């Protein structure tokens, strides 16, 4: 598998019941868990890339992280996200083959549909 076939994934968690510090803790826990998987990289998103309406804490966006994973491990990462984030409100942005796909999910069913769309999106044509 060539380096160009890596998939970039931006994960934005959204939980209005949590304050900024709690959201930050939840995001850092998820980041640690993702780093334990076989990913090329996983980082919090720096404030320099602020989307409209986003909050930041300590120089990083609250609830947002980016990861890069090989195509071979992409499905494993999506499976982990489905297990870990089912029922939570999240936004995924998948970048592969020079294209981007952005999906939102606020239930387990929506997340599974979003994961399926992401898998279809990255399949080589």
Check residue 40 and give its pLDDT.
94
Q: Which of 1, 75, 73 is nearest to 39 (CA)?
A: 73
Helices (H), the chain: 20-35, 71-85, 108-122
CATH number of 13's domain? 3.30.70.120
Q: Look up the domain containing 66 and give its range.
A: 3-122
Check residue 2 and give its pLDDT.
41
In order along the chain (125 residues), what is the average pLDDT of each group of 10 residues? 71 86 90 94 78 60 90 88 85 88 88 87 77
Bridge pairing between strands 60-69 and 56-57: antiparallel
Alpha carbon distance 33, 46 (integer Å): 19
Q: How far is CA 82 from CA 30, 32, 36, 47, 91, in A?
A: 12, 16, 16, 27, 13
This prediction's pTM: 0.81
Q: How many domains does the chain have?
A: 1
């Amino acid at each position: 598998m060539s380096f160009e076939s890596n998939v970039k994934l931006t994960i934005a968690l959204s939980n209005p019941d949590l304050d900024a510090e709690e959201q930050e803790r939840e995001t850092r826990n998820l980041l640690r868990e993702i780093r334990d998987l076989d990913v090329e990289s996983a980082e919090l998103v720096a404030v320099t890339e602020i989307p409209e309406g986003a909050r930041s804490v300590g120089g990083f966006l609250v609830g947002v992280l980016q990861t890069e994973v090989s195509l071979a491990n992409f499905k494993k990462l999506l499976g982990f996200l489905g297990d870990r984030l089912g029922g939570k409100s999240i936004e995924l942005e998948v970048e592969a083959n020079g294209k981007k796909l952005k999906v939102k999910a606020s239930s387990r069913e929506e997340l599974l549909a979003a994961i399926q769309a992401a898998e279809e999106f990255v399949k080589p044509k």
